[in-house]
Structure 1
Amino acid sequence: MKSDKQLKQEVEEELEWDPAVTATEIGVEVTDRVVTLSGHPVSYAEKLAAEKAAHRVAGVKGVVVEMTVLLPQADKRSDSDIAEAVHAILHWTVGLPDDAVKVQVERGWVTLSGTVDWAYQSHIAVRSVSHMRGVVGVSNQIDIRGDVGSDDVGTKIREAMQRHAQREANHIDIAVRDGTVTLSGKVDSYAERSVARGAAWSAPGVRAVVDDLRVE
């Protein structure tokens, strides 16, 4: 097992390696394999990239985010300008029905609401907005329709996992209740964890995913 000191070094190296992150803006501390990220990234997209970089390091048990986005003056936009731009981005995003997603902006923080048919539509909406200039954060309050039975959802997720990673699928337990999928068990890496989460979110009728997987 890696020591906290080794994990700290590897997380810092991963941040330096990632072109989407300015490593000098991010502080790293590790206690009991839990990484705490602090500092002031210059965009919400960079904040997300730093979180993902920390998760990619093998041996990391969890990531605590204490970063606050500090926009450069040139990137600051009014809430009305951001709202207008978000509406335009969502309108031009393939797979999102017009007016399915509602937008609210307060001091650069975007809240998305509304109802869509598939979880992936919620994800692409959030991803599109997260990389916009002037945005300091995104809250996803989009509801997912779906009336697929729990057994059907669990079966489809299991089949998808087996297509992507047969070995990992054998170590993961799937519980489905009222459209919420809970994943438990253990995986060997964050990449395998992402495969499991992606398969769960892609199943019809899934409204939420609870990730209780352990990386060992």
Structure 2
Amino acid sequence: MKTDRQLKQEVEEELDYDPAVNAADIGVEVKERVVTLLGHPSSYAEKIAAEKAAQRVAGVKAVVVEMVVRLPSGDQRTDEDTASAVRAMLRWTVGLSEEAVKVQVEKGWVTLSGEVASPHLSHLATRTVSHMRGVTGVSNLISVAGGKAAQDIAEKIERALQRHAEREAKHIRIDVRDGTVTLKGKVGSYAERSAARGAAWSAPGVHAVIDDLDIG
């Protein structure tokens, strides 16, 4: 098992390796394999990239994000300008529309609400907005329309897990209730945990995913 010192070094190397991250913006602390990221990334997109970089390092049990976005002066926008830009981006994104997704902006933090046809579109809206200039954070309150039988959802997730990672699928229990999926069990790494969450979110009819997985 890697020591906390080894994990700290590897996380710092991964941050430095990632072209979407300026490693000088990010501080790293590790205690009992839990990584804490600190500092002031220059965009929300960089903040997300730093979090994902830390999650990719084998042996990391969890990632705590204590970073606060500090926009360069050239990227600062009024909330009105940011809201207008977000609406325009949604209008130009296939599958999304201003009518389906409502936008609220406060101090650069964008809150998305409304209703879309699938979890994929909900994630697409968040991903699109997350890479825009002037955005300091994104809250996704978008609901997913429609509903499917719990058994049907669980079977689709199980098949997806078997296609992506058969070994992990054997150790994951799936519970579905009213469109909310709860994942339980043990996986070998943060990457496997992320893959399981992705498989759950991709299933039609899923409105929310609760991740109770442990990393062994």
Classify the TM-score, shorter chain. over 0.9
Give yes or no for the alignment of 1:2 onto 2:9: no
- Equivalent residues, number: 216
Query: Paired residue for 1:120?
Result: 120
Query: Paired residue for 1:102?
Result: 102
3-state DSSP class of the match of 1:201? helix
Contact 1:146 1:206 in 2 (8 A): no
Moved more, 100-109 or 161-170: 161-170
Query: Paired residue for 1:140?
Result: 140
Distance 1:126 1:171 in 2: 30
Query: Paired residue for 1:30?
Result: 30
Query: Paired residue for 1:55?
Result: 55
Structure 1 residues 2-60: Cα deviation after superposition (integer angstroms, max 9, x where no partner):
11111111111110011100101111001111111110000000000000011111111
> TM-score, normalized by length of structure 2?
0.97
Distance 1:48 1:24 in 2: 15
3-state DSSP class of the match of 2:99? coil
Residue type at the aligned position of 2:102: K
Distance 1:61 1:84 in 2: 39
3-state DSSP class of the match of 2:64? strand
User: Mind listing any 5+ residue stretches in structure 1 that lack a counterpart?
Assistant: none
Query: Paired residue for 1:81?
Result: 81
CA positional deviation for 1:188:
2.0
Distance 1:156 1:178 in 2: 16
Contact 1:12 1:23 in 2 (8 A): yes
CA positional deviation for 1:172:
1.0
- After the TM superposition, which segments of 4 or more aligned residues of structure 1 sit over 3 Å from their partners? none
Give yes or no for the alignment of 1:182 onto 2:174: no
CA positional deviation for 1:192:
2.0
Percent identity over paired residues: 69
Distance 1:154 1:28 in 2: 37
Distance 2:43 2:54 in 1: 17
Contact 1:182 1:210 in 2 (8 A): yes
Residue type at the aligned position of 1:193: R
Query: Paired residue for 1:21?
Result: 21
Distance 2:70 2:55 in 1: 22
Query: Paired residue for 1:44?
Result: 44
Contact 1:146 1:204 in 2 (8 A): no
Structure 1 residues 166-214: Cα deviation after superposition (integer angstroms, max 9, x where no partner):
2221111111111110111122223322221111101111110011222
Contact 2:55 2:191 in 1 (8 A): no
3-state DSSP class of the match of 1:186? strand
User: Mind listing any 5+ residue stretches in structure 2 that lack a counterpart?
Assistant: none
